[in-house]
Amino acid sequence: MSGINVSKPTEDNASLESFSLESPSPLYARVKQIIMQKIRSGAWLPNSKLPSESELLNLLGVSRMTINRALRELTIEGSLVRMQGVGTFVAEPKGHAALFEIHNIAEEIAARGHEHRCEVVVLEEMPERARASMPFPLEGVKRLFHSVVVHHENDVPVQIEERFVNAEVAPAYLQQDFTKVTPYAYLIQLAPLTEGEHVVESIHAKSAECKLLQIKRYEPCLLIRRRTWAAMGQVGCARLVYPGSRYRLEGKFGN
């Protein structure tokens, strides 16, 4: 973990004493809850150091075992980072992508106040013989363009976007500068989506993909295989690979 701020959170820790001992929840769960309240409110910022176990014990009046379990579970859940001999810190939040919606990753990154950068790895017309590698079949599509780009968040690679695009829908696709506009943003302006489908899987990335994402060979990754349509027909399909340690997928549903 780089750039750790070892200073204590600036807000008065005495306010921790306000949590209710009369709640039916187990003590360790209430300790977790009040720590998360501090993080979500912005009182304890990413990379800031929490009070020590002894300080939390004195402030909350619970046992060391209770404090230790709360901190241990929050570390497993990814909310905290514990460093032996140094202390416990608020973790940097993972980036997230919409599960049930299709968004521009550049806008998602900007919404978090971070910098987006796109690296173009492949931009070509796809030979007929290579179609077997596509994530979905595209029946009736005569010519396909193929692109591979890597999206970076604050210079850390967070997604490989491989696209197979119907040349009839986007005839000028190969002439675009995808370091300035993402393939998604270009296509959505050209052919607004009317329908889409996708499949989400957990995978181990290919060796070349691990190199692009700067991850170890067997680090778990998230894969979205997506196919989309516009009023003029099939737009194409995509294969999106995210390092599991840097991204999570979120979705909402209801009536």
List, as one string, the DSSP characters of 135-160.
SS--TT---EEEEEEEEEETTEEEEE
Identify the H or E element spanning 179: none
What pLDDT shows up at residue 161? 96
Token pair listed for 12: 């008065």
Cβ contact 22:30 at 8 Å: no
What pLDDT shows up at residue 76? 76
What pLDDT shows up at residue 121? 97
Identify the H or E element spanning 207: helix 207-213
**Structural domains in the chain?**
13-90 (1.10.10.10), 95-250 (3.40.1410.10)
What pLDDT shows up at residue 248? 64
Residue 255 neighbours by CB under 8 Å, 6+ apart = none
Largest CA distance in the chain: 71
**pTM over 0.85, yes/no:** no
3-state SS, residue 131: helix
User: Tens place of pLDDT for every residue, the chain, 255 residues?
Assistant: 433 333 344 444 445 544 544 555 688 888 888 898 888 888 888 888 899 888 998 888 888 999 989 998 888 777 888 877 778 888 876 555 444 456 789 998 888 888 999 999 999 999 888 888 888 888 889 999 999 999 999 999 999 999 999 999 999 999 999 999 999 999 998 988 888 888 888 888 889 999 999 998 888 899 999 999 988 889 999 999 998 877 666 554 444
What pLDDT shows up at residue 165? 96
What pLDDT shows up at residue 77? 74
What pLDDT shows up at residue 57? 87
Kindly tell me the number of DSSP H helices and DSSP E strands found in the chain.
6, 10
